[in-house]
Structure 1
Amino acid sequence: MKIRVAISQIDSYVGNYAINLQKIKGYITEAASNNADIVVFPELALNGYPPEDLILKTQFLRDSLNCIEKIRDFSRSKDIIIILGGIDWDVESYNTAFIIYKGKMYGNYKKMFLPNYSVFDEKRYFSAGRSPYIMEIDKVKVGITICEDLWVPNGPAISLAQNGASIIINLSASPFYKERNKTRFEMLKTRASELSSWIIYCNLVGGQDEIVFDGGSVVVNPYGEIEFNAPYFEEGLYFVDIDPLEATRANLREGKRKHYNESVYFEKVNVINIEKRIQDKLPLNKNNFYNPDVYEQLYLAIKIGIKDYLSKNGFEKVVLGLSGGIDSSLVAAIASDSIGPKNVLGLIMPSKFSSKSSVDDAVELAKNLDIDYKIIPITDIYESYISELSESFQEKDEDKTEENIQARIRGNIVMAFSNKFNYLALACGNKSEAATGYATLYGDMAGGFSPIKDLYKTDLYKVANKFNEIHNKKIITKSILEKAPSAELRPNQKDEDTLPPYSLLDQILFKYIDREMSYDELLQEGYDEEILKYVINLVNKNEYKRRQSAPGIKLTERSLGKDRRMPITNGYVPW
């Protein structure tokens, strides 16, 4: 006897119940028509994740419960068990998995472990459940968990296994960041092996503000081996046939069910019985999906992040400044892939300090991508600014003020096109620049969305090379990839005039920001004292700029958005 499970890797739209409900019903219908016994949806699939302060609105919660009732009514004609992530609410709100079958609500499982770190604020919104949950189908026990419940080493999954669950389903909304899938795989393989149970991990997919969910839903057998891995960054319905007796065989192979710490055993385990017969079915074809490498995953994350931010916020086209540098080139290239080249406009805005090669590179890139572009020189506008300010500035030498005026003129022009044509303006700054404040407020930082905001400069080049490899063509040209980074706001300017080489800078930034290493720890690793103090000072004093920047896609473990909440007014000196 095999149980067929349909994994609904859904791209939910926060707060849009009409769209989410339509998708959910469609997947239920498709799953039932393919003889699935169970269809499972991700965490809060009905509401979208994270709903944030929408959860504080009682009408939002009432609407959620009304949609659950609509799904219950819809299920009357479907011979399939539905496990749906949504919000349960009476006096308190709960992150919940609803179990529905043939018009009946059999019960619900309330998430027990609420994450409150990184991008998660679940303790602000939800109360924790108290009891693990098992449903029994034709003598097969299936345990249900939600996201963090499975990550906790001594969590409810132990009680599920001890109470005979041969299959443990996990509804998840696990955000993407670089190499996240490796950590996830190791956790899932460990849990399956130590519990001698099947693990079905159903993950959300799609972009939501600064977060991207990568899908990649996984089925792991009781020996800790991956049996199925759904595509990354793709919405879809995927089927797996599971032999629950394999869990018994795994236990026998190990000699006995593994011993656990008795202190984590949950005395109360809710067990519900669903009267459904598991029918024999024709075997499924084996599905082997390609697992992209780390830089292709970063490319795909940016691609879906742009697409979903536009579609879910009512935009169709984007505009950006195209400088001929690597940052804007990569943003334009991925935007072109994401929403189509005819929906991307590049503005080439040379000043008297712009090199001819940079303008040529920008034009060649636009042609390679087949995107529209306009050349709008800013020299006359800049000279007009300088002329108007000359009297006020007559006793001052030229400095970064004049440089920033150029960046702000360009930002003004980009925003003018955004306003006039309802284009979303894309900012093109990277994480190295955001961390050190090497960017101009209301200039190159201007925009409604910042796709590579969380991508270090050194990784940016690797993603650009991966883009060319994927397309089997040097779309981002050799001259763009090899030129020394420069803002071109003064003669012969190079980024390294102000910053350490990016190969060194990004090492320090990664360890200081992502790994939270202290100044003393970094000093012990052999970094130069003067460079360390310089970089750390840049990071600490530019929080006010980051607080005013456009939202951007989380691509690293500790992004400079919700992940890292530092006070702007801050007198702490770390040495």
Structure 2
Amino acid sequence: MSPKVAIAQINSTVGDLSGNRERIAEFVRKAAALGADIVLTPELSLTGYPPEDLLLQHSFHSSTQLELDRLKNELADLDNVFVLVGHHLIKGGLCYNACSILVNGTIIGTYFKQELPNYTVFDEKRYFAPGNEPLVFKVKGVCFGIGICEDVWFPLPPQKARAAGADVMLVMNSSPYHMGKMHQRPVIVRQNVIGQGMSAIYANLVGGQDELVFDGCSFAMNTDGKVCVQLKQCEEDLEIVSFDNKQPVNGRMEEHPTVESEVYRALVLGVRDYVTKNGFPGVIIGLSGGVDSALVLAIAVDALGPEKVRAVMMPSPYTSDISQIDASDMAGRLKVAYDEIPISDCFSSFLSTLAPQFNKLPEDSTEENLQARIRGTLLMALSNKFGSIVLTTGNKSEMAVGYCTLYGDMAGGFAVIKDIYKTLVYRLCHYRNSISDVIPERMLTRAPTAELKPNQFDQDTLPPYEVLDTIVRMFMEENRSVGEIVKNGYNTTVVERIVRLMRINEYKRRQAPIGIRITPRGFGRDWRCPITSKYRD
């Protein structure tokens, strides 16, 4: 009789040790009821990923061990069900990223992760020591080896597992999302696991953790390199993988979403988990009548429901009638609480108060930023009074070049589209409207404008967003020099100006709220440029 392996695609919460234990147990019992012999959970499923400096607290170690013992005893009544649980373990004074095999109330073996990622958003070498030994076990005549995430991005750990007799590699993962990542993972598994003559079961974490989103998309792959089982994106999931002659059998295949769909789902998941896991009762959004705040509002409603979303329109003397009409229209379509708080009187009071200091100097961006800061103050006051978190609405294109106001539109707790280029903002809006028509068409067709002075348009001071976004992407994500970007057909003056703006606005980005990462490099934990720097290429 061939074994059955359950992929438990669980949404763990960092530090919620008892909650994670209960979630694991729930999935294990469901899997056992479906006939599973082995249940594979994600990397660090008991602690959540990444636990970061919680790993430096001694109490966290003892609490994790206590919950692991509780889980082992809680599942002792399940006869011969092998449960693979991710956790950290202190041994010999060193901390390891580990996987323990629980069966019949005992731990029959613990594997230590061998390859520790220390790039982009990862800094595992800060916390963990590497293991160097394989761990294999047999169930119903099939020999299973264990790998943890980065282990399969290199050939040596799979080679060791194969040499120890493994027919199948069970890989627990906490692999964070960025665009295209779901297509990249099978390629790596095909190269380093299937290339060793083993099949693979790949269980990935799902859920939002600060700026990271884990998208699930777990899968099984046979020795021909074919994905034969594919789980959902951005949802918890459970699937039983059957085997025939040591090969996973074809099973459920969830469709790969389009780029717009996968990004939108990731944003919805990131907002839902950040708000709910941190205990906020709801969110507040400054709705301008523009496309960025429209997208954030749609995401928030899809993530939390309209009853937890409040939209606030704050017209200034330069706000057009159509902006107010469209903002009200969209709030009505989504059935969210909607308020209008004019800021003209506040703006006049500030100008009057500052008049002696300004001493009849000509108006400039100071007056524009003042309006943004009044709005930021009002939103934060509402947040303070009602407990809801402010979602900011700035996109990656604006963040890159500083087209945003410190303590103004940057004021808030979570930056939903911080890693979304303006060109992608439009694509996501059209995608959302293809599901249901919630964003007024005029928001998508009118020229983008901050409406902070008469007849103002973004393109008065910025190159077309198609150009801006490409230059930012090449400089930031691909590490291209000014000269290399120019060789790709872009104007030297434009490129130099954009790169200069990116450099001089680093101090602003350091003070921005965290936001959801959806590109291979976002302005966050994997962007660490010095504020004070004289280097110019």
Identify the residue that residue 104 of structure 2 maps to in structure 1.
102
Q: 1:313 to 1:556 in 2, by over 3 A?
A: same
The alignment's TM-score, normalised by the length of structure 1, stands at 0.91
Distance in 2 (alpha carbons) for counterparts of 1:55 and 1:102 = 29
Distance in 2 (alpha carbons) for counterparts of 1:553 and 1:368 = 26
Identify the residue that residue 276 of structure 1 maps to in structure 2.
none
Gaps of 5+ in 1: 248-283
Give, in angstroms, the shift of residue 211 of structure 1. Answer: 0.3
Give, in angstroms, the shift of residue 244 of structure 1. Answer: 4.2
Identify the residue that residue 281 of structure 2 maps to in structure 1.
316
* Cα deviations by residue, 1:259-294 (Å, 9 ceiling, x for unpaired): xxxxxxxxxxxxxxxxxxxxxxxxx99423232111
Counterpart secondary structure, 1:362: helix
Distance in 2 (alpha carbons) for counterparts of 1:465 and 1:120 = 33
Contact conserved, 1:165 with 1:197, CA < 8 A, in 2? yes
Distance in 1 (alpha carbons) for counterparts of 2:279 and 2:164 = 49
Counterpart secondary structure, 2:75: helix
Distance in 1 (alpha carbons) for counterparts of 2:443 and 2:2 = 55
Contact conserved, 1:12 with 1:20, CA < 8 A, in 2? yes
Distance in 1 (alpha carbons) for counterparts of 2:326 and 2:181 = 35
Distance in 2 (alpha carbons) for counterparts of 1:535 and 1:498 = 11
1:376 corresponds, among 341, 347, 360, to 341
2:319 corresponds, among 338, 348, 354, to 354
> What code does the residue aligned with 2:433 have?
N
Identify the residue that residue 414 of structure 2 maps to in structure 1.
449
* Cα deviations by residue, 1:536-559 (Å, 9 ceiling, x for unpaired): 001111111000001100110001
Identify the residue that residue 519 of structure 1 maps to in structure 2.
482
> What code does the residue aligned with 2:170 have?
I
Contact conserved, 1:28 with 1:82, CA < 8 A, in 2? yes
Identify the residue that residue 30 of structure 1 maps to in structure 2.
30
Contact conserved, 2:3 with 2:140, CA < 8 A, in 1? no
* Cα deviations by residue, 1:160-210 (Å, 9 ceiling, x for unpaired): 223331110100000001111111122223335412211100000000000
1:162 is the counterpart of 2:163: yes
> What code does the residue aligned with 1:461 have?
Y
Distance in 1 (alpha carbons) for counterparts of 2:38 and 2:89 = 21
Identify the residue that residue 205 of structure 1 maps to in structure 2.
206
Identify the residue that residue 301 of structure 2 maps to in structure 1.
336
The alignment's TM-score, normalised by the length of structure 2, stands at 0.98
Identify the residue that residue 250 of structure 1 maps to in structure 2.
none
Distance in 2 (alpha carbons) for counterparts of 1:419 and 1:410 = 14
Contact conserved, 1:295 with 1:463, CA < 8 A, in 2? yes
Contact conserved, 2:3 with 2:139, CA < 8 A, in 1? no
Give, in angstroms, the shift of residue 400 of structure 1. Answer: 0.3
Identify the residue that residue 112 of structure 1 maps to in structure 2.
114
Identify the residue that residue 477 of structure 1 maps to in structure 2.
440
Identify the residue that residue 43 of structure 1 maps to in structure 2.
43
1:365 is the counterpart of 2:295: no
Identify the residue that residue 128 of structure 2 maps to in structure 1.
126
Identify the residue that residue 62 of structure 1 maps to in structure 2.
62
Give identity over the alignment, percent. 42
Contact conserved, 1:192 with 1:221, CA < 8 A, in 2? no
> What code does the residue aligned with 1:459 have?
L
Identify the residue that residue 71 of structure 2 maps to in structure 1.
71
Give, in angstroms, the shift of residue 76 of structure 1. Answer: 1.6
> What code does the residue aligned with 2:256 have?
N
Matched length = 535
> What code does the residue aligned with 1:533 have?
E
Contact conserved, 1:435 with 1:509, CA < 8 A, in 2? yes
Identify the residue that residue 459 of structure 1 maps to in structure 2.
424
Distance in 1 (alpha carbons) for counterparts of 2:225 and 2:192 = 8
| Higher mean displacement: 386-395 or 224-233 | 386-395
Distance in 2 (alpha carbons) for counterparts of 1:132 and 1:117 = 24
Distance in 2 (alpha carbons) for counterparts of 1:125 and 1:162 = 29
> What code does the residue aligned with 2:178 have?
Y
* Cα deviations by residue, 1:282-324 (Å, 9 ceiling, x for unpaired): xx99423232111101100110101000111011210010001
1:544 is the counterpart of 2:507: yes
Counterpart secondary structure, 1:66: helix
1:534 is the counterpart of 2:534: no
Distance in 1 (alpha carbons) for counterparts of 2:326 and 2:360 = 38
Counterpart secondary structure, 1:553: coil
| Higher mean displacement: 560-569 or 155-164 | 155-164
Distance in 1 (alpha carbons) for counterparts of 2:158 and 2:245 = 16
* Cα deviations by residue, 1:493-516 (Å, 9 ceiling, x for unpaired): 011111111010000011100111
Distance in 2 (alpha carbons) for counterparts of 1:285 and 1:557 = 31
Gaps of 5+ in 2: none
Distance in 2 (alpha carbons) for counterparts of 1:58 and 1:193 = 40
Contact conserved, 2:313 with 2:324, CA < 8 A, in 1? yes
Contact conserved, 1:115 with 1:123, CA < 8 A, in 2? yes
RMSD value, Cα: 1.3
1:573 is the counterpart of 2:536: yes
> What code does the residue aligned with 1:212 have?
V
> What code does the residue aligned with 1:507 have?
T
Contact conserved, 1:12 with 1:46, CA < 8 A, in 2? yes
Identify the residue that residue 82 of structure 2 maps to in structure 1.
81
Contact conserved, 2:450 with 2:457, CA < 8 A, in 1? yes
Distance in 2 (alpha carbons) for counterparts of 1:14 and 1:411 = 30
Contact conserved, 1:3 with 1:244, CA < 8 A, in 2? no
Identify the residue that residue 275 of structure 1 maps to in structure 2.
none
